[in-house]
Amino acid sequence: MRGVRRAARRAQRSDAEVRSSATGHPRRGGSLGALRGLRSWLAGPGVPCSSLAVVPLCLSISPSQTVVQTSMSRFQVALLGLGLLLMLLLYVGLPGPPEQTSWLWGGPNVTILAGLTPGNSPIFYREVLPLHRARRVEVVLLHGKAFNSHTWEQLGTLQLLAQRGYRAVALDLPGFGNSAPSKEANTEAGRAELLERVLRDLEVHNAVLVSPSLSGRYALPFLIQGHHQLRGFVPIAPASTQNYTQEQFWAVKLTKRGAMASEGLEGEHPSVTLFRRYLRIRTVQPEPDYGAAVAFLEERAHQLGLGCQKVEVAPGYVVTILTWPGTNPRLSSLILNSHTDVVPVFKEHWSHDPFEAFKDAEGYIYARGAQDMKCVSIQYLEAVRRLKAEGRHFPRTIHMTFVPDEEVGGHKGMELFVQRPEFRALKAGFALDEGLANPTDAFTVFYSERSPWWVRITSTGNPGHGSRFIEDTAAEKLHKVVSSILTFREKERQRLQSNPHLKAGAVTSVNLTKLEGGVAYNVVPATMSASFDFRVAPDVELKAFEEQLQGWCQAAGDGVTFDFAQKWTESRVTSTDDSDPWWAAFSGACKDMNLTLEPEIFPAATDSRYLRAVGVPALGFSPMNLTPVLLHDHDERLHEAVFLRGVDIYTRLLPALASGLAGPPRWPAKALAPGGAH
């Protein structure tokens, strides 16, 4: 085959990096011909080991190339047939191997060790050790659909590698040879993780991975994800190449250290590469890796020449502050806030690993946090990087705050941080925080948000046997309260639907989220409860609303009470009046960029409520237009072009907000809940 011969000639000429495109077709068709070509290549003067070698021997084989040509004589064929028959008789007539994890086959020159990897889903392997001085490169041999690890022994490849000084390991993929099927093989990420685990268990280092046909389903995702065990990769008509883009293959870096990295693609924008790197940090609730996120941010601070402060607001909960000092320290500062945690995932519903940051051929990046809200975190950082590279300076200090715990309420994050002296020392004058994507050409900006009230209604009544008509039961009275609340819910829903000018954040929503009570089918319970998630609109008088709750309970009868699991009463609104200097600066910069803004009330809750409650005006803004709202959804994704445009937008916004404003910045928010917290 031309590709193999070309690779062999290059290997003879130089002990430097090998890169072969193998654009020609093999003269001997099919995977077996390619395997024989590989054996010929390995039998050459030596595989270079000074750098990573990617040698695609045969990337495509047409159906007409499936016939294996051979120059064997009839006599040789007959001997081969007799030998195979003898092996079959021995296999049938002799007892199986003893119950052990490894055993040996002896040969004239080479001993082949076989065994099973430890743990669940063990993988069968055959291994040879070098007969003389070992080379630093180790060879891992996978196989195609019609073969297994024994094929490499039959071809003599294992023996040849041992004779030439290589440690070599041939694997039986799950469901082939002596390896049982594995659930890990059902997904792309699972196959990559399985291969990584096997190499780790076998202590394979500086590996050259040989991957014929079907094994590409394991080798290619392993390769693309950038595992550093590899020193070289030899694809032989690998399967699943259609699942990856040309850019992804170019992303495989050939370095003298032999590390294969797929953090970024050649030709990929560095900001996108950084974004994908941040997405791979698993800060997923309920056990987020905050330490890795903080380390990432510390590294960015060092690279950008920014101050870095870490404030532990609760044990294990750190707020990281990156600071770009302004030229006028007497001015209030600009806060760019984002949270580091993300919500849980159900991997079985994702098209790609939610923490791989996979980018498809169209440029969509799939990851948890792609929209909520790691995109904004990196957009802040990249906008600051650009402005610093341009030599810009601004009167106001810019603080980028990266907070934990937002996705579970922010009680161990921003809620505690705003009460600390470190926050007061920031002299915050205005803040930007997260928003939502907008499927239209416009950009949504949020100036307030609804107040979350989590209410549990508890009803007590007469107990008794389930066969009797018992009066005044807990269930009867609870039913009355539930009916009253759901009637209110329907009125609010109709009000929203009947007015096209209203958005979801302008009405109060409520949902029944939990019912509890009872001990047995035939026992009428003495106590039952129902839990509700209210999101109260900011124009609602909270004292009157609480009295309405009390009225529903009293109307149901005696023994009906309510209590709060969460009750937010500091509802504030950030001014969107053109006379306000902060809004004027923000909206003016957007107008200069021809951005259409749609001011709204945020329908859920963010950390902005804590900032507004202590007197810091805040706008929720995530520059993602022409993008479906996918936060917390399966297959959360963001197009790289939308992400990069967001960097451009912040690069224009920050100078407008960090410069001296026309008038003194003031707190324009007002409390809409008379009497404050209660």
From the candidate CATH numbers 1.10.150.120, 3.30.1950.10, 2.30.110.10, 3.30.70.360, the one assigned to the domain spanning 451-464+472-567: 3.30.70.360
Q: Active site residue: 127, 138, 406, 607, which one? A: 406
Number of H helices, E strands in the chain: 18, 27
Residue among 337, 606, 342, 339 at smallest CA distance from 452 = 606
Residues 404 and 338: their CA atoms lie apart, in Å, by 9
Tell me the residue type at 643: F
Q: What is the pLDDT of residue 197?
A: 87
576, 620 in Cβ contact below 8 A? no
pTM of the model: 0.60
Nearest CA to 609 out of 453, 402, 449 is that of 449
CATH superfamily, region 291-448+572-671: Zn peptidases (3.40.630.10)
- Quick check: 277 and 72 in contact, CB under 8 A? no
Residue with token string 């810019």: 398
Q: Using an 8 Å Cβ cutoff, are 271 and 644 in contact?
A: yes
Q: Helix or strand or coil: residue 39?
A: helix
Segments of 340-390 assigned E as strands: 358-359, 364-366
Measured CA to CA, the distance from residue 617 to residue 575 in angstroms comes to 8
Which residue type occupies 443?
A: F
* 434 annotated as a binding-site residue: yes
- Say if residue 339 carries a ligand binding annotation: yes
> Nearest-CA neighbor of 650 among 616, 623, 626, 625?
623
Is the torsion defined by CA of 71, 75, 76, 80 positive or negative? positive
Structure tokens at 217: 């389903």
pLDDT digits (tens, 9 = 90+) for 546-601: 999 999 999 999 999 999 999 999 989 999 999 999 999 999 999 999 999 999 99
The predicted structure's pLDDT at residue 304: 96
Q: Tokens representing 409?
A: 């309420």
Other CB atoms within a 10 A radius of the CB of residue 148 amount to 21
Q: Is 341 a catalytic site residue?
A: yes
DSSP character at residue 19:
B
Nearest to 449, CA basis, from 624, 611, 573, 582: 573
Angle at 611 between CA 609 and CA 614, to 5 degrees: 105
Angle at 649 (CA atoms; ends 648, 654), nearest 5 degrees: 105
Task: Tell whether 632 is in a known binding site.
Answer: yes
d(CA 404, CA 277): 19
> In whole angstroms, how far apart are CA 88 and each of 76, 85, 266, 629?
18, 5, 51, 62
Detail the DSSP E strand segments found in 450-526.
Answer: 451-460, 464-465, 509-517, 523-524
Please name the residue that has the structure tokens 């395997």: 35
Decide: helix, strand or coil at residue 101.
Answer: coil
Token digits of residue 617: 């005006």
* Cβ atoms of residues 445 and 598 within 8 Å: yes
* Secondary element (H or E) of residue 358: strand 358-359
What angle, rounded to 10 degrees, do the helices at 374-389 and 290-304 form?
10
Q: Which helix (H) or strand (E) holds 496?
A: helix 474-498
Give the separation between CA 568 and CA 533, rounded to whole angstroms: 12
Q: Which residues pair with 621 in a beta bridge?
A: 445
How buried is residue 440: exposed, middle or buried, by Cβ count under 10 Å (0-12/13-18/19+)? exposed
Residues 6+ apart with CB under 8 A from 352: 188, 189, 358, 360, 366, 635
Q: Are strands 560-567 and 451-460 parallel, antiparallel or unpaired?
A: antiparallel
Going along 39-101, which residue ranges are E strands? Answer: 53-54
Which residue stretches of the chain have pLDDT < 50? 1-31, 33-35, 37-72, 90-107, 254-264, 662-678
The single residue of 172, 341, 449, 640 carrying the catalytic annotation is 341
How is the chain split into domains, by residue range? 2-62+98-250, 291-448+572-671, 451-464+472-567
One-letter identity of residue 473: T
Q: Give buried/exposed letters for 462-473 (b at 16+ CB in 10 A, else e).
A: eebeeeeeeeeb
pLDDT at site 546? 97
Residues 6+ apart with CB under 8 A from 468: 524
Omega prior to 286 cis, within 30 of 0: yes
- Which among 231, 425, 458 is positioned nearest to 319, based on CA atoms? 425
| Contact present, 54 and 232 (Cβ < 8 Å) | yes
Residue keyed to tokens 């499927």: 439
579/666 Cα distance (integer angstroms): 11
DSSP secondary structure of 265-320: -TT--HHHHHHHHHHTS--BTTS--HHHHHHHHHHHHHHHT-EEEEEEEETTEEEE
pLDDT at res. 651: 96
The sign one gets for the Cα dihedral 523, 528, 533, 537 is positive
Domains 2-62+98-250 and 451-464+472-567 share a fold: no
CATH number for the domain formed by residue range(s) 2-62+98-250: 3.40.50.1820
As given in the structure block, the two tokens for residue 640 are 């790289």
Whole-angstrom Cα distance, residue 279 to residue 640? 13
pLDDT (0 to 100) of residue 266:
55
